[in-house]
Amino acid sequence: MKKAIYPGSFDPITFGHLDIIERSARLFDEVVVGVLANSAKSALFSTAERVNMIQELVAKYPNVTVDSFDGLLVDYARQIDAQIIIRGLRAVTDFEYELQIAQTNRVEYPALDTVFLTTSLNYSYLSSTIVREFASYGGDISRFVPQEIIPLIEAKYQRGQ
């Protein structure tokens, strides 16, 4: 059984992330989407909100579950007995950072391998940061995220207005 973890901030999840999840679900027996619960980082969505959102969007994949983790990814991977970390690579600019993290994680936990999936070309420009930036100015984000979560994102920027 190949159990993989797809970790990230997912603040919010985008079509790029969902594309990686769909492809990972075909490649591995079990995929755990691991939402980083980092209280130091000021996130748009709470950890529970991000987990719930993703759970709804991946409900169609029977081998995909969603969870949150705190602390080091290697510790969480050990805890859930995952042998593979999945990361998406958009462009060469992602590579250096991702390589460093993958190698550090492997030093800490040699049984753990990182598998990189190249992001589909139509999403190679996309990031959660871009989605937040666009939404904060009232831009159309329908090409970036699923319809179901657009009202949730927009609501975050309507508060206090």
Q: How far separated are the first and last CA of the chain, in Å rounded?
A: 50
Which segment (5-13, 54-62, 109-117, 134-142) binds ligand PNS by CB under 6 A? 5-13
Near ligand PNS by CB under 6 A: residue from 36, 58, 141, 145: 36
Longest dimension (CA), the chain: 50
Q: What are phi and psi of 136, to 5 degrees?
A: -65, -25
Look up residue 120 and give its DSSP letter. P
Which residues have C-beta within 8 Å of that of residue 154, sequence separation ≥ 6? Answer: 135
Contact call for residue 119 and ligand PNS (CB under 6 A): no
Contact call for residue 101 and ligand PNS (CB under 6 A): yes
Which segment (6-14, 22-30, 53-61, 135-143) binds ligand PNS by CB under 6 A? 6-14
> How many Cα atoms are found within 13 Å in the side-chain-facing hemisphere of 156?
19
Which segment (3-11, 21-29, 54-62, 112-120) binds ligand PNS by CB under 6 A? 3-11
* Residue 9 is a catalytic residue: no
Omega cis (within 30) before 12: yes
Contact call for residue 104 and ligand PNS (CB under 6 A): yes
Which residues are at the interface with ligand PNS (CB under 6 A)? 7-9, 36, 72-73, 101, 104
